[in-house]
Amino acid sequence: MHTPSPSSLSFQPAPQHLARVHSILLQWYAAEQRDLPWRATSDPYAILVSEIMLQQTQVDRVLPKYRQFLAAFPTLADLAAASTADVISVWVPLGYNRRAISLQVIARQVIAEYEGRIPDTIDDLLKLKGVGRYTAGAIACFAYHKQVATVDTNIRRVLHRIFLGLEQPAPKLNDAQMLALAEQVLPAGEAYNWNQALMDLGATVCTGANPQCVSCPLQTECRAYSEMSQYSLFPSGTVLRQLRKVAEKKAGYQTQPFKTTNRYFRGRVVAFLRSLPNGQRIPLLALGPHIKPDFTDKDLPWLQTLVNGLAKDGLVDETEDGIKLP
């Protein structure tokens, strides 16, 4: 997919405005940055582990598991050589267990194709199975201190609000254009601190559902805040309330209760298999009642589909005799 160059974007930040944003945010980060263990290392393997764990998972849940995982598999070679069942066992209950499989696949690919050294360029990092542009950029920047931009959910939201305005009624840039904007506003020589600062601001202040605009260091430079300033004649909290309403509009659909989702039952399958003696298989009909109390024969096609998905992701081993952890 072609990434538009910064010059192809319709939006061009004013140099003075950009300089102020750089100065304010970097100073804020220097004083307010979160103390996270993966920021105390430049080990590409440790950074890779943290980035995979942080996908769709909050920092406070990742912290203990990150330390536990690296204690169990301290090097890339240790992870590559481990049994998949052991990797899943250490990963649980972090969720999205396929990420554990993906991490081990990456480790084995690096051992086989890159002599055990995680690549340091985005192009080579993107050749690793399951590594997308954000993770590639994060490893290049945070492990190898390359001057590259990268865009995750927090960075997208912060950049959009600062430079483009409110996300509603629709984002003004697609993914490729947002990456181009991120590259355009990247301060020279400050990629590491800048990317970390954007993520910290998005995680702690410029959040999706409850933005703390009144305490944001970039309040005076933020286009989204400026767009809401028409409400400034009302009490001081009005702008914040309006921004909250914008965030709430984005969630205008009904979500399915988690305990009825396939993700929930996938997790129950893996958890139950972990309770079995090593190598023991269980037939699907016998498995069903353990993961769904009201299971009947009519649920067998659903369970088979669920198990097929787990097998495809490498999370279970399935034969005619039943399933077990790989």
| Active centre residues (catalytic) | 51
Single out the residue of 20, 35, 9 nearest to residue 187, CA to CA: 20
Cis peptide before 93 (omega within 30 of 0): yes
Is 232 in contact with 240 (CB distance < 8 Å)?
Answer: no
Give the closest residue to 211 by CA, choosing from 246, 262, 182. Answer: 246
Distance of CA 30 to the CA centre of its chain: 23
Task: Give the Cα separation of 291 and 287 in Å (integer).
Answer: 7
* Residue labelled with tokens 């192809």: 8
